Chain A
């Protein structure tokens, strides 16, 4: 049995924000919109060596409707832009976005006719992760940063 049994049948008082944010920040369920090289590094982050489960985000969802964290990993081309926007729209509130890798942040090496120069043009981004591709550690750093950000939010701000 866990520590919760020590409280017995008593009451606990806390702020609504504290308990909601405690829950959502420690169980961010990612939907990985993986398109290119960064998705391969994300696989590293998710697999046994690095183990994303240490940050409570191991429950990779394959449907945007079940996820609250959109991880965009890989180059977004103009052809993909409507797909990404639609997927973001399919996610339920509250939702957050991590842009993984140079291409997603700025277009990276591909300053040309077909590549979106940063997904900030398409969806609101919470955390940018530089790197080409970023290491698994950098992705974890982004998750921790996002957790800290989520903890400062208030349910009352969501309209």
Chain B
């Protein structure tokens, strides 16, 4: 027996309008992210996928990674910038390059370009100033830091890493 204000036993929890609303709220954001990652709405109920594949070719697997290096020392994620490692992936993996691309976020593959414009130039200078301040720890000047891309080779027959080579080196603050 239902309480007086309860739904009748033969009535579903949601009617057609409610069902469409529920599906739009739950599945809509997933569809939007599917179309374009930059359209991810927060807080949508979406879980991480990271559907990348690693390959074993001729008994070996290679992996590229980007790190900050101070002198000869490759820094741990977030270490050089004095920030929580949690933020290190987007912060450390940066690129300075063409005039319209001051800063790149590799993680998640979106937001890699700041479009040109006065305001963006100001923002880019602010980032440079922050980087200089963060990297200048009294022991090393910002010029001592470089962004290095390492190529790591794992051999499956030997069951260990067999090579680690630097494929590119760029200054942090050109």
Q: Are the chains A and B members of one assembly?
A: no
- Could you tell me which A residues sit within 8 Å of B by CB distance? none
